Amino acid sequence: MSILAKFSQLQHTYDALSAVKPNPFAVTFDEIISSTEGVIDGRQTILLGTNNYLGLTMDPECIEQSVQALRQQGTGTTGSRVANGSYASHRALEQDLANFFGREHCMVFSTGYQANLGMLSTLVGRGDHLILDADSHASIYDGARLGHAEVIRFRHSDPEDLYKRLRRLKDVPGSKMIVVEGIYSMLGDLAPLREIAAVKREMGAYLMVDEAHSMGVLGERGRGLAEAAGVEADVDFIVGTFSKSLGSVGGFCVADIEGFDILRVACRPYMFTASLPPSIIASTRQALRRLESDKPLRQRLSSNAERLYQGLRQLGLNVGPHASPIVSVALEDQELAVRFWNALLQSGLYLNLALPPATPSNRPLLRASVSAAHSRRQIDRAVELFGEVAVALGVLPATTGSPVAMVA
């Protein structure tokens, strides 16, 4: 028996999807024209599945800063910061992020996934308790598995269920860490963070918020849901990524806790992974400056998100509970979802196809992520295409009105 036999069921599912042309999990971009348009199979396509919330991947100054760093300092660091040392720009980026969030300390990781993996496996250990929202991202679950804390799940965005589970642990020794996300990556819904923070205070737990999809999106300064909800003082650790609003790659954790720097030699995913190259750091720092100084970027993003959400909702499609830059349409079965996704792509609209078991409630999703760089024309065209395909596939009746007219 092959060592890969354990994946036979997954292989069967993957083979079935691979038979679809194009394969939803093997899309290749022939060319990237802008933050919102690309070429796929020779066809100019609206990009609505990139998580490029502020459109900064093609920002001229971010590119220029990256090019300068590349020329001056080379292509990579070729090792971890613990073994090979830090570049001055690593420290500068950490200081920038600490200042941005109003915190004392920051650690930068090579990916956002690694930030969750590293912090969760290190902060809580044997004898501690990790209390996770049931719909947490895979990186949070993997960080929990890598550590030795007892893992407890509470119902998604349910502060009462969180309270009940913490109350059962009231007299149990060990630290308790609650982990939630600012914006959840599948449906785009927001955590009820004020209520969760109140539970945290009453029960004496620690609170970590993953602001991966909410940094640069929510809050007066773009610091995320904790800022928007007015509970930053209750959040002990904020983790996030550079691969969404900041348009690059990498992750971070900021905190005020005393003795934070010991984590640099306690956190194995930080210690034993090569550090970010100077070019990435340079573009990330410039993107952070743009985020801080250009509030209209967030306003355009919010306007575009609302336009897409309301357009799809008024068509009669099943969207999530909140209008956020993540707008997902839930469908009844996988075959229909694949056909719908493929028809949209053939019509010139690219977005994400999310399938069970990676989705809430085990329903397939057509997941769109909006950018500040999208034009109203592109948003309206996306709504129009959703309507046309939904009617063609029998998801909506043929009497469905003009989506562009409804959202104008």
**Rounded CA separation 292/216 (Å):** 9
Residue of 136, 185, 245, 371 marked catalytic: 185
213 is catalytic: yes
6 is catalytic: no
H-helix segments, 181-324: 193-203, 225-228, 268-271, 278-293, 295-315
Residue of 129, 200, 213, 374 marked catalytic: 213
**Rounded CA separation 7/11 (Å):** 6
**Position of tokens 């354990």?**
6
- Helix (H, G, I), strand (E, B), or coil: what is residue 154? strand
Pair 84, 272: CB distance under 8 Å = no
Give which of 48, 29, 22 is closest to 349, Cα–Cα: 48
**Rounded CA separation 219/305 (Å):** 15
Indicate the Cα dihedral angle 373, 377, 380, 381, nearest 10°. Answer: -100
Pair 224, 209: CB distance under 8 Å = yes
Which one-letter DSSP state was computed for residue 129?
Answer: E
Beta bridge pairs of residue 367? 328, 352
Q: What are 222's two structure tokens?
A: 């773009």
Residue 35 has φ and ψ, to the nearest 5°, of: -65, -20
Residue of 244, 283, 369, 371 marked catalytic: 244
Task: Give the active site residues.
Answer: 185, 213, 244
